[in-house]
Amino acid sequence: MINRDELVPIGKFRKPHGIKGEITLTFSDIMASVIYPQPDPMPGLAHHPLFSQCPFLICELDGIFVPFRIENYRFISNSTAYIQLKNIDSDRKVRLLSHKEVYFPAKYIQEEVEDDSFTWDYFIGFTLTDERLGEIGSITAVDKSTINTLFVVEKEKEEILIPAVEEFIVRIDENKKELIVTLPEGLVE
């Protein structure tokens, strides 16, 4: 059984492309830089280092994480690709995956991502912990709609906004998916 803490969200399936089961996959900001092939990529699955290590994409269907083998893919931009999955060979079948979040096994991503290439979206799913106050809650989203980027943190069934500021970060525990911070007094009560 696949557990959520073993996975990293890498993007979202969008709409079907054509009638033979291809689907559009839009990668998140951080994953676009990791997954997009180098200049002059050779076509085919075996030539992409990340997909050759693990040729599966994972979606949550009815509360269960289901792996789908990548049969073929082609990039149409640095953040979008057309993906063909094994046994998904019709427009009807691929529509079941439309608008679903797409995951990849974390153990393969960690080898590819460099420490300085993180974006704030990377921390979605992490637990936010203050050194003084203890566990604040789970980061569920990143709000970029204002000048200041904010973490949306779920705390006891309530959403609170915490500034996403490098100076607040003490350390990152990727194994525990925990972001340890020191927040100014009065920011969280």
d(CA 159, CA 171): 23
Listed in sequence order, the DSSP H helices in 59-136 are 91-95, 106-112
Percent of the chain scored above 90 by pLDDT? 31
Where in the sequence of the chain do the CATH 2.40.30.60 domains occur? 4-117
What length is written for the chain?
189
Segments of the chain assigned to CATH 2.30.30.240:
120-181
Residue 47 is predicted with a pLDDT of 43
pLDDT digit string (tens) for 2-49? 888 888 888 899 998 888 889 998 887 656 555 544 443 434 333 455
Angle CA 5–7–13, to nearest 5 = 135
Give the pLDDT confidence of 159-178 residue by residue, as tens digits: 999 999 888 888 888 888 99
The rounded distance, in Å, linking the Cα atoms of 59 and 166 is: 31
CATH topology of domain 120-181: SH3 type barrels. (2.30.30)
From 2.130.10.10, 2.40.30.60, 3.40.50.1950, 1.20.200.10, which CATH number describes the 4-117 domain? 2.40.30.60
Phi, psi of 120 (to 5 degrees): -60, -30
